[in-house]
Amino acid sequence: MKTRLDDLAVFGGLPEFQEKLHVGRPNIGNRERLLDRVNLMLDRKWLTNNGPFVQEFERRVADLVGVKHCIAMCNGTVALEIAIRALDLKGEVILPSLTFIASAHALQWQEITPVFCDVDPETYTLDTLCLERMITPRTTGIIGVHLWGRPCQIEALEGIASKHGLKLMFDAAHGFGGSYKGKMIGGFGNAEVFSFHATKFFNTTEGGAVVTNDDELATKIRLMKNFGFYGMDNVIYIGTNGKMNEFSALMGLTNLESLEHFVKINKTNYLCYSDELKAVPGIKLIHHDLREKCNCQYIVLEFDESLTILSRDEIAHILHAENVLARRYFYPGCHRMEPYKSYFPHSGLVLPETEKIVKKVLSLPTGTAIEPQDIKKICHIISFAIQNASDIKGKLTEYDLKRELIPGFRMT
């Protein structure tokens, strides 16, 4: 435990953790079951092209989510791109800037203009009042993002989409296994898109899926993700290669068997962080509604610098030195990344809440790679830093100044 400023690794002390603690370290299910499936895949010599593991995986996910169709994909970004194209989106599509860059790129890649809308400061998802003001004759759709696993204001978005004749889809990369008013995320809008990347609490190593209750849309997406093939030697639609392979599917099937275990650990970690940080001034732990099904896969802190004295970035700097690789999800916002900051240089003026949030939130490690005692150590570092904020801030300034002026300087 840190008791003196010089104990902090940023000032030359030993790091609290020998191994780096990452945000999004992969969860892995039963290894024996995984290897049994690998051997079966090798015995079958069926590695891709809609193999039996992919077919089983799609059925299992559709059953879990409660939808008619799950179309597994090679990754979440391709799943977004294909869903966007299958819905015939064009012109302008409204979405938040507070999301991973893939949400915007999936539109721009197809020469559709992403129109960035501000978020509600309480939910961190699309502000529906702002959204309706941004609809123009060129608007064809809305993409809601279930940020950090917290659902959008789905009913309001459905009402707006219906009123204006717009397509509605959801980037549910963070939402797998969650629910909204008792209904599983995945069954809302025209379609929802999951990511099963290794950093997600449930992963297929690399992968994604589109889920929908629309029969016609599902048929179209299945054609599009496999070059437009309908049967053997018969291409009836333009498409690409978006297929999930058998290894990804068997990884997914194995991890599905441990899904409840992963969620239980995430909830335990979330409650532990909540308990350890509840008395620390200036810190708000982003709330998960445990009355709903919730994957709790993101531990996100919001810092009020007027109380913490240390900025979010200074605290992140201190944690990184201790080998706690906290992340600024999603800094600085899509609107401040290329090509969007060049296309829309003044977009920050209509995104005041987004501009505030990206400067004060920090995501911390969780999942099966971390133990409660690790969480207590992380929280102690944060608490200690804030308790000694004025002294630390001065010393950080002195250290950074000397490091800048004296090559090779290291404070001792």
**Tens-digit pLDDT profile for residues 215-261:** 999 999 999 999 999 988 999 999 999 999 999 999 999 999 999 99
Phi-psi region of 323 (alpha: psi -120 to 50; beta: other; left: phi over 0): left
d(CA 238, CA 121): 41
Residue 398: what pLDDT?
65
Taking CA 45 as the corner, what is the angle to CA 61 and CA 218, rounded to the nearest 5 degrees? 30
Q: Is 74 within 8 Å of 244 (Cβ atoms)? A: yes
d(CA 93, CA 409): 50
d(CA 274, CA 195): 27
Question: What are phi and psi for residue 172, nearest 5 degrees?
Answer: -105, 35
For residue 25, how many other CB atoms are within 10 A of its CB? 17
Task: Find all residues with CB under 8 Å of 224, minimum gap 6, and list them.
Answer: 82, 85, 86, 237, 238, 239, 240, 242
Total number of residues shown for the chain: 412
Residue 35: what pLDDT?
98
* Beta-strand relationship, 113-117 and 167-171: unpaired
Q: Is 365 within 8 Å of 23 (Cβ atoms)? A: yes
d(CA 4, CA 37): 52
Residue 400: what pLDDT?
66
3-state secondary structure the chain: CCCCHHHCHHHCCCCCCCCCEECCCCCCCCHHHHHHHHHHHHHHCCCCCCCHHHHHHHHHHHHHHCCCEEEEECCHHHHHHHHHHHCCCCCEEEEECCCCHHHHHHHHCCCCEEEEECECCCCCCECHHHHHHCCCCCEEEEEEECHHHCCCCHHHHHHHHHHHCCEEEEECCCCCCCEECCEECCCCCCEEEEECCCCCCCCCCCCEEEEECCHHHHHHHHHHCECCECCCCCECCCCCECECCHHHHHHHHHHHCCHHHHHHHHHHHHHHHHHHHCCCCCEEECCCCCCCCCCCCCEEEEECHHHHCCCHHHHHHHHHHCCEECECCCCCCHHHCCCHHHHCCCHHHHCHHHHHHCCCEEEECCCCCCCHHHHHHHHHHHHHHHHCHHHHHHHHHHHHHHHHHCCCCCCC
Q: Is 79 within 8 Å of 201 (Cβ atoms)? A: no
Please give the domain boundaries of the chain with CATH numbers for all domains.
Answer: 5-26+259-326+365-405 (3.90.1150.10), 31-256 (3.40.640.10)
pTM of structure: 0.94
Residue 361: what pLDDT?
98
Q: pLDDT tens string for the chain (412 positions)?
A: 899 999 999 999 999 999 999 999 999 999 999 999 999 999 999 999 999 999 999 999 999 999 999 999 999 999 999 999 999 999 999 999 999 999 999 999 999 999 999 999 999 999 999 999 999 999 999 999 999 999 999 999 999 999 999 999 999 999 999 999 999 999 999 999 999 999 999 999 999 999 999 999 999 999 999 999 998 899 999 999 999 999 999 999 999 999 999 999 999 999 999 999 999 999 999 999 999 999 999 999 999 999 999 999 999 999 999 999 999 999 999 999 999 999 999 999 999 999 999 999 999 999 999 999 999 999 999 999 999 999 999 888 766 644 544 444 444 3
Residue 401: what pLDDT?
47
Task: Find all residues with CB under 8 Å of 200, minimum gap 6, and list them.
Answer: 24, 173, 174, 176, 297
Sign of the alpha-carbon torsion through 264, 328, 103, 20: negative
Residue 412: what pLDDT?
39
Locate 53 and state its tokens: 């593991």
Locate 215 and state its tokens: 């029969």
